[in-house]
Structure 1
Amino acid sequence: MTRTVYVNGAYLPEGEAKVSVFDRAFLMADGVYEVTSVLGGKLIDFPGHLARLARSLAALEIANPHDDDAWLAIHREMVAKNDLEDGMIYLQVSRGNPGDRDFAWPGAEVAPTVVLFTQSKPGLADSPQAGTGIKVISIPDIRWGRRDIKTVQLLYPSMGKMMAKKAGADDAWMVEDGKVTEGTSNNAYIVKGGKIVTRQLSTNILHGITRAAVLRFAREAQMEVEERAFTVEEAKAADEAFITSASAFVMPVVEIDGVALGGGKPGPVATRLREIYLDESRRSAI
């Protein structure tokens, strides 16, 4: 089945979708994106993704091309046109096509480029890795200083994924000044003595939408949460660890740099949080 994609107001077969070679996302990585998970044909954490999209666009001085109602309508149309039951919707907004390459960005006369496409992932919430956990390695964090803006500058996270693959692991945790910042495409957590520890919000990490929901659910379940940076050595000595993201939800981490956590099996806190997150997110999906 050929996917239907969205490009600047038009719903097109993916083979007919085109974006200019002068688009600034292509030439300058001058754009932002969001990924919303879909379970049972409904959007997960959608208001949070829209709020972060607006924040990212404002930080780069790119006009938001739609209001929240219009974004919702487009996403629902993408679900319907692609018969999407479980999977993800990728949304990208760039500064657009100014007609030529220039480091200085254009003014308001150039409209943003808007692209959406779907990725079907049957059984997305039933990943076998949730039962086995994942392995991570640590790598230096050499990204730019505004990681809180969800830009399409993803080369180093992509390199990190490949470093992990070559090391026989599943992902990488990035480290700056001796402290873990985040995973290549997720937020990082450890658990010690029942306490959940994760890095505090700042420009150093992405303000994860799943992160916000998981921490809220954890506190509602009377779990203790401490928002602070932690070291790799502290992580290796933890009782358990996990990551959160829009597509992985809550995923246990069972090994860091070859050191097994919790006997190499998913821990009770991560396992319970995944259950709570999926239950609550399905309940509030739109």
Structure 2
Amino acid sequence: MSRIVYVNGEFVPFEAATVSIMDRGFLFADGIYEVSAVLGGRLVDNEAHLARLDRSLGEIGIRNPYPTEEWIRLETELVRRNGVDEGLVYMQVTRGAFERDFAFPPAETEPTVVMFTQAKTVARNPLAERGAKVITVPDIRWKRRDIKSVALLAQVLAKQEAAKAGVAEAWMVEDGFVTEGSSSTAFIITGGKVVTRPLSTALLPGITRLAVMRLAEEAGLTIEERLFSVEEAFAAQEAFYTSASAFVMPVIDIDGHELGDGKPGALTKRLRALYLEMAGA
């Protein structure tokens, strides 16, 4: 049975899904996307993802095509039709299709909406048991990284560098300080404190980041939102990254510098367990 996807108001077989070659997402990367995790057939922390989708659309002047309740209905139906027990729902909204021109098309142009599911192991990911290795790369992205744009070429190149190095993720660096991962939020644990960069236009406001920080505070851990350097990360007691698909992923090596005893740290494992409990795993 073919995977079912959603395109502009219709659930269709994957093979039948089409988008115009004049779509501005294709021509200009003029669009926004979101990804929500699925566990036990249920969406995880989904309303926060939809709120960020709405914010990102507003920041670049694209009309949100659906209210939150309709987004949830469509996602839930897509998960049901594909029988996804564990995995992801991808959502993308572009400014729509119109004759190629840099300026916005007429206001009445309908946004293009695409959604699909991916079956994927997220809760029992073997990488979380052994710990991930990461490399650092220069952050060459634009200056509005707080917008979850489909313009991901810099992240693609960073991921490819990680793949070539045989590691799981790349942490991007600007002026000597870690901004974030190519598809994740970066954390270190030093002096018993959980440290991550404060929100700004320099990085994406991670949804899993926010949930993990809340869980850490509820567990009595101290959170410090501040910049941290690559050198400080090398010397950290523990490190991890968060995302909708990785949840809380322990980091055991950065640029060949082994952290601690080279195994996932106790506090990181605790935070992952707390997140999995919250997600209903």
Q: Same fold judged by TM-score > 0.5? A: yes
Match among 247, 251, 273 for residue 245 of structure 2 = 247
Q: Which residue of 1 aligns with 2:177?
A: 179
Deviation at residue 124 of structure 1 after TM alignment: 2.2
Unpaired runs of at least 5, structure 2: none
Q: Which residue of 1 aligns with 2:213?
A: 215
Q: What is the TM-score normalised by the length of structure 2?
A: 0.99
1:66 has 2:69 as partner: no
Q: What is the distance in 2 between the residues matched to 1:86 and 1:244?
A: 17
The 5 A counterparts of 1:1-286 are 1-98=1-98, 100-121=99-120, 123-282=121-280
The one-letter code sitting in structure 1 at the alignment partner of 2:11 is: Y
Q: What is the distance in 2 between the residues matched to 1:167 and 1:79?
A: 34
The one-letter code sitting in structure 2 at the alignment partner of 1:212 is: L
Deviation at residue 169 of structure 1 after TM alignment: 1.9
**4+ aligned runs moved over 4 Å, structure 1:** none
Secondary structure in 2 matching 1:270: helix
The one-letter code sitting in structure 2 at the alignment partner of 1:196 is: V
Deviation at residue 213 of structure 1 after TM alignment: 0.3
1:248-269 CA-partner distances (Å, limit 9, x unpaired): 0000000001000011110011
Unpaired runs of at least 5, structure 1: none
Secondary structure in 1 matching 2:261: helix
Secondary structure in 1 matching 2:33: strand
1:54-74 CA-partner distances (Å, limit 9, x unpaired): 000000100000001100100
Deviation at residue 105 of structure 1 after TM alignment: 1.2
Deviation at residue 216 of structure 1 after TM alignment: 0.3
Q: What is the distance in 2 between the residues matched to 1:192 and 1:57?
A: 36
Secondary structure in 2 matching 1:102: coil
Decide whether the 8 Å contact of 2:122 with 2:247 is kept in 1.
no
1:77-128 CA-partner distances (Å, limit 9, x unpaired): 1011101110100000000001x1111111321000000000011x420001
Deviation at residue 275 of structure 1 after TM alignment: 0.3
Secondary structure in 2 matching 1:180: strand
Q: What is the distance in 1 between the residues matched to 2:46 and 2:55?
A: 14
Decide whether the 8 Å contact of 2:39 with 2:279 is kept in 1.
no
Q: What is the distance in 1 between the residues matched to 2:80 and 2:136?
A: 41
RMSD (Å) for aligned C-alpha atoms: 0.9
1:180-212 CA-partner distances (Å, limit 9, x unpaired): 000000000000121000000000000000000
The one-letter code sitting in structure 2 at the alignment partner of 1:17 is: A
Q: What is the distance in 1 between the residues matched to 2:162 and 2:46?
A: 30
The one-letter code sitting in structure 2 at the alignment partner of 1:143 is: R
Deviation at residue 276 of structure 1 after TM alignment: 0.1
Q: What is the distance in 2 between the residues matched to 1:182 and 1:227?
A: 13
1:119-170 CA-partner distances (Å, limit 9, x unpaired): 011x420001101111111111010000000000111111111111212322
Deviation at residue 175 of structure 1 after TM alignment: 0.4
Q: What is the distance in 1 between the residues matched to 2:56 and 2:92?
A: 11
Decide whether the 8 Å contact of 2:78 with 2:117 is kept in 1.
yes
Q: What is the distance in 2 between the residues matched to 1:6 and 1:167?
A: 36
Q: What is the distance in 1 between the residues matched to 2:167 and 2:115?
A: 31
Q: What is the distance in 2 between the residues matched to 1:108 and 1:8?
A: 17
Secondary structure in 1 matching 2:27: helix
Q: What is the distance in 1 between the residues matched to 2:167 and 2:69?
A: 41
Decide whether the 8 Å contact of 2:184 with 2:243 is kept in 1.
yes
Q: What is the distance in 2 between the residues matched to 1:40 and 1:90?
A: 17
Q: What is the distance in 1 between the residues matched to 2:159 and 2:279?
A: 27
